[in-house]
Structure 1
Amino acid sequence: MSLPPSNSESAGFDLLDPAIQRWVWREGWTSLRDAQERAIPALLNADRDVIIAASTAAGKTEAAFLPILTNLLKHDDPAGSVIYVSPLKALINDQWGRLETLCEELDIPVVAWHGDISASRKHRFVKSPRGILLITPESLEAMFVNRGSGLAGVFANLRYLVVDELHAFIGSERGKQLQSLLHRIELVVERTVPRVGLSATLGDMKLASAFLRPRKEQGVEIIESKSSGQVLKVQVRGYVDLPNEQDASSSGTSKQEADSDAEEAIAAHLYQVLRGSNNLVFPNSRQKVERYADRLRRLCESDGVPNEFWPHHGNLSKDVREETEQALKAGNRPATAVCTTTLELGIDIGSIRTVGQIGSPPSVASLRQRLGRSGRRQGESAILRGYCEERSLSDDSSLSDRLRQGLVQSIAMIRLLMDGWFEPPRVQGCHYSTLVQQVLSIIAQRGGAAAGELWRSLVATGPFSTVAQSDFLMLLRAMGEHDLVVQEASGLLLPGESGERFINHYDFYSAFVSDEEFRLICDGKALGSLPVSSPLSVDQRIIFAGRRWQVAGVDESAKVVVVKPSPGGAPPLFDGVGARVHDQVREEMKRVLGAAEACPFLDSVGQELLDEARCCFNEFALGRRSLVDVGAKTVVFTWRGDWTNDALAILLKRQGIQCESAGLLLEVESSSNNVREALQRVAESPAPLVTDLLADVKNMVREKWDWVLPSELLAASFASTYLDIEGARSTASALSSQAQR
């Protein structure tokens, strides 16, 4: 981290307050990073919205706060305040430590505000609201609900609204809540407050600007630093494992719950190359985090050396997670965290040498965020070690296994990362669930509100601008039917009896629910649980624990899926129930399979596996064919992402074609001629009503308040978030035309 000496040509440094300049000198900085240099004049006068996008450890926090603190010092009558919104309490604690050192010298208070902070410290800020308030969206929501009448005084001298990790909010229910809260702050103070977004991962700056300042995104100044100069070193290793022959229907265990041969080999290699340094290892589930952490710990024990491997995921207690974080930060002994996305965001965990990725990454953006942890010291490279487990092939191996779907997806994502591409956020969601919460929140804040007031605050001028007035009134009526709101004779809406209970519970402040897993049950016996992001309907086939199953029933409220064994041969190892894959990734997978040159970052086993996949690709002429007959089934290759594939599967079912999305491909229980005709009907028929299309889908209640929504709004909400219906129809047209040729 660096700032310029006085004889340098840094115009930005000269604009900073002298007290901040002195602090900079004592820190030993010698030059400004480019983002810091450009941010100072942009932020100094609090007269515009700004996004600062730079790689991890590029000094984004200082880029924002050096000019912001200068503004607070130069205009201190009255004393100003700043609200800094973070997605994580741990990040707030982190930033508090970083800012407190500087702000103590400047006599500017820094106040962390979340559930672990005492009421007395919060009260001191409310009584004298000056300095920097570090807060989560949930705690900000609680301020509106519990301190509604006093917020005008609390926010009176607010100068800036800072949103850290901006990418973590865009497109989500929590992000829509944050947009609403930022807008409601401005309604309270009756003026525009400059907004500052900080992020390391932003795929589309226009989308980011539109999120930060809806309707006026063209006025957002973008400061984008691309000059990390970081060298990336990559190796992806392939491993082959025997098929799982165990009968999962007669046992609650499977290879998903016991170390496979490949997993033991992967753990042994991790142990060999990671010992003696600080690293992060990302398996793709909490269950695998525990398995790998346990295996690596036992390897330390068998060698008689201190343990260097620690688990970290959301189901662990706060104390256990903090123990892992402290082991990484301490610096007095090597430590490796085996973790989920919990260590993806910018919590300070010190210098990381290597990032290990077991299986395909959730997304290119996620991989980029993880790699930002590595190689942060001057002159160090970022190191990525990938591990891909594939199954040995037999005569009845599925096309998915023969195409080495997991390995090829990993290769495609790494190639896209090297090209500088990563997924833009999906912003098409209706977010009716969060609208329910915000209606209740405003009613609580104001002690009641008329429907017209709510419409103006949330829709007409607020972030829910895509909601039609008729749909808004339908939503209010549904809330009344569920006793969330009642209407006085004057027209004023007040909390109903149920609404009061929800508002007065601490859980109300969160707009989202954690991803819940469905329990799978066969003949009364639990098989295990898994997250299900794709639409579920009765008779649908799914893959779990190395077996194919047919859905017999879905209890949405209890999160239970009743299944029965389904015939159909060996299922693919790649089960496709994880993160959703973008169109661009699948297109890149096709390019990887269609190429002939060796992949430079694969080991010898990985290259052999890729060569097998390419032979299969060429054998079935998949460069020019999309429909392949496999026994009594047809396999459809769309080379599109999961939003398109899931929608196409539903559209084909509507045409009487039993179809299941299996990641890279669709499996259809019909002849290729029937499939081609069905695709043609999908392409040429008018777009169906969403409520009709999703009539058989049993798992549409996904967000916190979805249970309130009438069927029309629930279907529209689900489709807007999880399906690309128009993309599916255009894909059907292209596939039909290709099949005819």
Structure 2
Amino acid sequence: MNVFDLLSPTIRENLQQMGFSEPTLPQRMAIPEILAGNNVLLIAPTGSGKTEAAVLPVLHNIMDIDGPGIKTLYITPLRALNRDMLRRLEEWSDALGVKIAVRHGDTTKGERASQSRSPPDLLITTPETLQVMLTGKRLRSNLKSVRTVIVDEIHELASSKRGSQLAVLLERLVEVAGEIQRIGLSATVGSPEEVAKLLTGMSRDCRILRADVERLVDFRVVAPRPGRGDHALAGQLGCEPPLAAHISCIRDLVRLKKSLIFVNTRQAAEVLGFRLKMLGEPIEVHHGSLSREARVDAEDAFKRGDLRGLICTSSMELGIDIGDVEHVIQYSSPREVSRLIQRVGRSGHGIGRVSSGTILATCPDDIAEACAIARRASTGELEEVRIHETPLDVLANQLIGLSLDFGEIGIERAFEIVKRSYPFRDLSMDEMLSVLDVLRGNRLCNVENGIIKRRRRGWEYYFENLSMIPDEKRYDVYDMVSRRQIGTLDEAFVVSFASPGATFVTRGEIWEIVEIEDDTIKVVPIQRSGEIPSWSGEEIPVPYGVAQEVGEIRSHLARELEEHGEEDAIRWLLARYPVDREAAEQLVDQIKHQIAAGCAVPDDKTVTIESDGSFAVINSCIGHRANDAFGRAITAILSTRFGSSVGMEIDPYRIQLTLPKRMLAEELLNVISDLSSAQMKVILELSLKNTTLFRWKMIHVARKFGSLSKDIDYERVSLVRVLGVFENTPMYREAIREIYQERLDVDTAGNILDRMVSGEIQVITCDLSPIGSSGRGGGRDLISPEYADAAVIELLKNRILHDRVILFCVSCKKWRSLREVGRVPDRPECPLCGSRMIAALKPWEDEEIKIVRMPEEKKSAEDKRRTKRVYRNANLVLSYGKTAAIALASRGLGPETAARVIKKMHSDELEFYRDILRAEREYARTKRFWGD
């Protein structure tokens, strides 16, 4: 039977007019189940008709329901998806006479009022907007008629706190509308049962429909080496030859097939986009830091065919309609199997079409990782979804929501509503009461005689915290050499890390912070050969399973090399993984060099500990989160032992330690051998309290509890004191839980440690090896050639020569002239009186001229001091001419500092400007300590 026959004649007629005569597999599976009123989780690839599989039977049901009010809520994770969904459903709306509308943060006040008075039959919205609707009197009334909720892209919500938030929101909706039918639409996920429970809660059944349409998938891992043309291109683009080779590869692929180019960071998007545009390629950039208008323009241009390529981050993984995509390029390993499947699934929409993707790997670790992920994607070995279990800040937010929903609600009833949701199934009454104590202390609600009562302050808190996504302030970053804005940094960086002298990567270059002022961070480009920047942002964590497979690949290649030789090792890799020969050769080369150096190959069953004096590496193929936990425990012990801090960088395959004193690899092994998994957990919790990571999480959690204002001034408040007050509170416990959930895999790290100590995992010590010293160094893959010292000085020189100075004659006190520094004569002279006593003042020092012109008897002591400085300035110009004007035009250089710079009598111009730069940086660092 054709399942379309189960739908109304009007729907069938429109399906025929649209050319849909045969249902797809998702439609065949889902339509009968949804019409039967069952809760459904439909898992199917993008482009397989899963949206229609949910919407058509729901529209059929809506047509049979009379009366006002919203009948169906269609919830998506993104506003962009809302707009896209409205476009797709408008045709059905017109044909069936079903009213469909969108409501989210961008909806105008007029549209909202209209929806409240005359609600649509189907409302497309977000979890955050549902938060609002549940508390509004008229909106809440409109929700009483809801019979069905569709949650699109539910896999995207499942592993975040937004998923836990939505689970409770659906239970709050039940209190308004009664039991509702729940339909979830998901891409392929590793643990569908968990996602189904998130959708339906603890006491309801859910039919999991796996409509894994047989789609042809073609993955290829490439790693182009720079050719002769790439060396020339590198000079043209101002980058290293390996990056030029990558850009050449992307350019050639995009010219061949219209492509999405996925990257893992916004920085990578900007760097690649900038250089491809330099080549004149029709390519745009799409990521979350761009304005909505810029993103929509890029989407529309790609859909029209004006662009051959769109460089994008994770937001484009979701089903936003951008038209036909012929190919997907993934720049660098996608880090996760599910991410690769979702991204490559954007190409080749339609049954029977091939989804093709190229992973452009950037180094041997990247090649091995991409191979493991591509193989796992081909066989459907996905990571499990990890739902946030009992997130207490979500609980706090939802308890206030319940108090606003009802005005007052019994604690027992609130407890029962929240516990119906899957994430809070294990919530204890004691835990809930401790959260209520905090909320009551923050005057967000009253708790009396077993009743939670709303308070006016609760409304303000609730609407400031509609989303569980942290609100982050953005800071403008200015290069003080060129005096141009180079980008923005988020609040996490500023609060947790930023201080004068700190280094970080942005726009593919390394920068040093020299000044933080209000909403602005001033930086200078630096040259630090080989140094890993102290801030490179958070990476997408590589899971344990993928890292272990990289270890297995290394192990097999080492065995093939030792037993059969290089060619057989390459053939082994080519036979088992979708990798091209050039990439395979680079990976085999890495293992060959390791063996040639006389070093053991770290793999899935071997950990190597290496030391080169004050630098040590623990090579362990256990993934980001486990290495992070392992590394933090070890650095805590070593810091205590040395009495000073130990630097740590981690990636999925190694822990790199910068030690304050020399330490042999054997000594480091002894430290690890004395540690147990039980001790590791205790050490981690104790050491986490003093980390910027914990401090930042604590701030966000405290905000979601209403304990800290979102406008808190970090410069004025002692965060150490605040965190001391929060210790042993629900906020403290939630911050620790979230860190363990998202950043530290303590259980896996403990298990690995026990296996190392027992001998199940072999541990070998050695000198620093090729693999140990080849860490990815988070972010350096896109760094431009080191900023040459001469180039920095040239920027500074150009800036100063194009700045302006006021030339003022202190002899006649009549002549003044505003001009560019570059146009100042070698020996300035007053055209009115012929004097060479000419002061070179900054444009904002006009006030100094008025003071100099004042009669002496009217000058205060301060006025006389300022007059003396102007004469000192003029004496410098008299003695050194234009050279003095250049120094005096520099930022923060008064006559005294300028005199010190000038009097060094530099033998070359480069050294003169270098001293000016040092003086400017010193001024920026110490300015806040000066008097007014």
For normalisation by structure 1, the TM-score amounts to: 0.82
CA distance in 1, matches of 2:325, 2:688: 46
Counterpart for residue 698 of structure 1: 692
Q: Paired residue for 1:157?
A: 145
Check whether the contact 1:84–1:164 (CA below 8 A) recurs between aligned residues.
yes
Aligned with 1:509: secondary structure? Answer: coil
Contact 2:478 2:520 in 1 (8 A): no
Are 2:161 and 2:388, in contact at CA under 8 Å, matched by a contact in 1?
no
Spell out the pairing of 1:474-623 with structure 2 (5 A cutoff).
Answer: 474-487=434-447, 492-495=452-455, 497=457, 499-504=458-463, 507-513=464-470, 544-545=504-505, 571=532, 577-595=538-556, 596=569, 597-599=572-574, 601-616=578-593, 618=595, 619-623=599-603
Q: Which is higher, the Rg of structure 1 or of structure 2?
A: 2
Which of 31, 35, 42 is matched with 1:40 structurally? 31
Aligned counterpart, 1:303: none
Alpha-carbon distance between aligned partners in 2 of 1:577 and 1:606, rounded to the nearest angstrom? 27
Partner of 1:598, secondary structure, is helix
Residue aligning to 1:106: 96
- Give 2:277's aligned residue: 297
CA displacement 1:138-173 (0-9 Å, x = unmatched): 11111123x1x3455312221211000011001211
1:594–1:617 contact (8 Å) kept in structure 2: no
| 1:177 equivalent in structure 2 | 165
Give 1:660's match in structure 2, choosing from 624, 637, 648: 648
Residue 381 of structure 2 corresponds to residue 410 of structure 1: no
Q: How many residues align?
A: 688
| Partner residue in 1 for 2:283 | 309
The correspondence for 2:222, drawn from 236, 243, 253, is: 236
Report if the CA contact (8 A) 1:627-1:634 is conserved: no
CA distance in 2, matches of 1:620, 1:521: 46
State the Cα distance separating 1:492 from its structure 2 match.
4.3
Tell me which amino acid in the other structure corresponds to 1:88: L
The yes-or-no answer on 1:447 pairing with 2:403 is no
Partner SS, residue 222 of structure 1: strand
The SS at the match of 2:45 is coil
Q: Is the 8 A contact 1:532 1:577 kept in 2?
A: no
1:58 positional shift: 0.2
Q: Pick closer, same or farther for the CA change 1:229–1:494 going to 2, 3 Å.
A: closer
Larger deviation: 599-608 or 48-57?
Answer: 599-608
Aligned mates of 1:542, 1:728 — CA distance in 2? 30
- Residue in 1 aligned with 2:608? 627
* Secondary structure of residue in 1 paired with 2:587: helix
Instruction: Note the C-alpha offset of 1:501.
Output: 3.6
Aligned to 2:815: none
Letter in 1 for 2:25: D
TM value normalised by structure 2: 0.66
**Aligned with 2:633 (options 636, 651, 655):** 651
Pick closer, same or farther for the CA change 1:537–1:573 going to 2, 3 Å: closer
Cα pair distance change 1:69/1:317, threshold 3 Å? same
Match in the other structure for 1:339 = 312
Change (3 A) 1:183 1:79: closer
Deviation at 1:198, TM superposition (A): 0.3
SS in 1 for 2:134: helix
The amino acid that maps onto 1:285 is: T
* Contact in 2 for aligned 1:237/1:602 (Cα 8 Å): no
Structure 1 residue 413: Cα displacement:
1.6
How far 1:503 moved relative to its partner?
Answer: 3.5
Structure 1 or 2: more helix by fraction: 2
Higher mean displacement: 586-595 or 33-42: 586-595
Cα distance change on mapping 1:655 and 1:276 into 2, 3 Å: closer
Contact 1:432 1:717 in 2 (8 A): no
Structure 2 residue aligned with 1:69? 59
Q: Which moved more, 1:639-648 or 1:461-470?
A: 461-470
Q: Structure 1 residues 532 and 626, CA, compared in 2 at 3 Å: closer, same or farther?
A: farther
Identical columns (%): 23
Residues 1:13 and 2:1 aligned together: no
Gaps of 5+ in 2: 228-234, 557-568, 640-645, 708-729, 765-932
In structure 2, which of residues 267, 292, 301 is the aligned counterpart of residue 327 of structure 1? 301
Contact 1:42 1:50 survives alignment (8 Å): yes
Distance 2:22 2:289 in 1: 42
Distance 1:666 1:226, change over 3 A: same
Distance 2:130 2:372 in 1: 40
Deviations 1:660-687 (A, max 9, x none): 3521112355433543453442236485
Distance change in 2, residues 1:661/1:28 (3 Å): same
Contact 1:278 1:353 in 2 (8 A): yes
Change (3 A) 1:649 1:578: same
Local SS of the residue matching 1:356: strand
Contact 1:436 1:705 in 2 (8 A): no
What does 1:127-146 correspond to in 2, within 5 Å?
127-129=117-119, 131-145=121-135
Asked if 1:196 corresponds to 2:188, the answer is no
Larger RCO (alpha carbons 8 Å, 6+ apart): 1
Contact 2:77–2:153 (Cα < 8 Å) also in 1: yes
How far the C-alpha of 1:576 sits from its partner, in A, is: 8.6
**Within 1, Cα distance between the matches of 2:497 and 2:307?**
48
Q: Whole-Å Cα distance in 1 between the matches of residues 473 and 609 of structure 2?
A: 36
What's the counterpart of residue 393 of structure 1? none
| Alpha-carbon separation, structure 2, partners of 1:538 and 1:150 | 47
Change (3 A) 1:131 1:470: same
- Report the counterpart of residue 424 of structure 1 in structure 2: 384
Cα deviation for residue 312 of structure 1 reads 0.9
Maintained 8 Å contact 2:75/2:150: yes
CA shift for structure 1 position 180: 1.3
When residues 605 and 740 of structure 1 are mapped into structure 2, their CA distance, relative to the original with a 3 A threshold, is closer
Which SS does the other structure have where 1:662 is aligned?
strand
| Partner of residue 273, structure 1 | 253
How far apart are 1:16 and its partner, in Å? Answer: 1.1
Q: Is this contact kept in 1: 2:48–2:213, CA < 8 A?
A: no
Change (3 A) 1:515 1:419: farther
Query: Which secondary structure state, in structure 1, belongs to the residue aligned with residue 74 of structure 2?
Result: strand
Aligned 8 A contact 1:92 1:134 in 2:
yes
Give the drift of 1:387.
2.1
Residue 438 (structure 1) shift = 1.7
**Paired letter, 1:40:** I
Q: Distance in 2 between matches of 1:464 and 1:523?
A: 50
| Counterpart contact for 2:502–2:534, Cα < 8 Å | no
Asked if the contact 1:54/1:60 (under 8 Å) is kept, the reply is: yes
Query: Aligned with 1:660: secondary structure?
Result: strand
Q: Name the Cα RMSD after superposition.
A: 4.3
Q: Which amino acid aligns with 1:588?
A: E
